[in-house]
Structure 1
């Protein structure tokens, strides 16, 4: 049975580990991974701020629920793991989790299409239906080098604001959301919009979506997903994994 959003937000750590491991494997399934160099996190329930992130060195297709690394907001590992945590990944994800308490999950990728659009001066263009969902809540963050500088966190936080989609210039894509399912769906839409834009730009004659349509897109998104957001597609994605790459729940 599909969970509604409120039920999802009170999931246990065990359930969140399973879904986060599935999210990593789905990123690999769609070919969005960059060896071991991107990251997805989920904030855990409880009074102390903690989140799960990938073991730095495991391929996304290998990640399991039990292999995920639990860290605090200072980057300290809270359980034994033979793997370290990517320091750049920690900086980016801790920056979002520190200020966006509505964003339980944060997903950051370096896809070819995402990096290509991030290098375009105009960024994401309103060329497709997919682009409209991202454009309705999109921000940009200028490139400052590999994200190892703790001082960059404040600027990333300010640029993100209350948006759910971010293009990191010359770097890649980021989405966040109240659930893993919502965050994955947002990345699916943003990634697809970038792919379509690059294909469309092969033509010299492009037609942009009119601004009045963009203004009403969020309400239309609620209708399309029946108010379930990413949860509408998530059970089917888990069934896909059970067929193609089982074992993520271990």
Structure 2
């Protein structure tokens, strides 16, 4: 057996389910320690989610995830990236679970994101942009920017679960909205945007120009778009512009 074949066999045996026997007592012990380490990493990354669904249910979900999602990175810090998506399937009848887990994952990811400068109103004023320039502007989003659609008040749930289990807390269903996460300075932030506001911000995040986005807002909504844009700047949602 070649080295690569031995390595693949070793990984396959570690990741196998419990019905697959171990080749040795040492491998059995190693497999158990391997899973415990991954489960502990998930419990640390999703502390609030664990409080919300309970330790027993969380441990079952973690065991399922570990068997179906072997680590793909050298660091355990990256291991939970797909856990919210797994929870979306496992807790299809309780969709707030995946929404909470997504927020819980992306807040520290934003904190650890690569440093980027913050675009300020003063920066735009100093650029002395003409009307044609504004039409061609494209924006780079702030460090750690991420977004997903939500249907529950998962931000209230996030706060309720900060230190203790939220016994008796009733998470409220909401109209479809978009939850965004980003970092400003050294602090990660989140905010919920209604569909209209994120439709505009999402276009800029996707690379559309300022002119294209303003045109899609329409003449009747241009004032509202201007108000949103001023708020986005004040919140530090952009890091740079380019023509």
- TM-score range with shorter-chain normalisation? under 0.3
Whichever of the two has the greater Rg, that structure is 2
Q: Which has the higher helix share?
A: 2
Q: TM-score of the superposition, structure 2-length normalised?
A: 0.25
Which structure ranks higher in relative contact order (CA pairs < 8 Å, sequence separation ≥ 6)? 1
Q: TM-score of the superposition, structure 1-length normalised?
A: 0.24
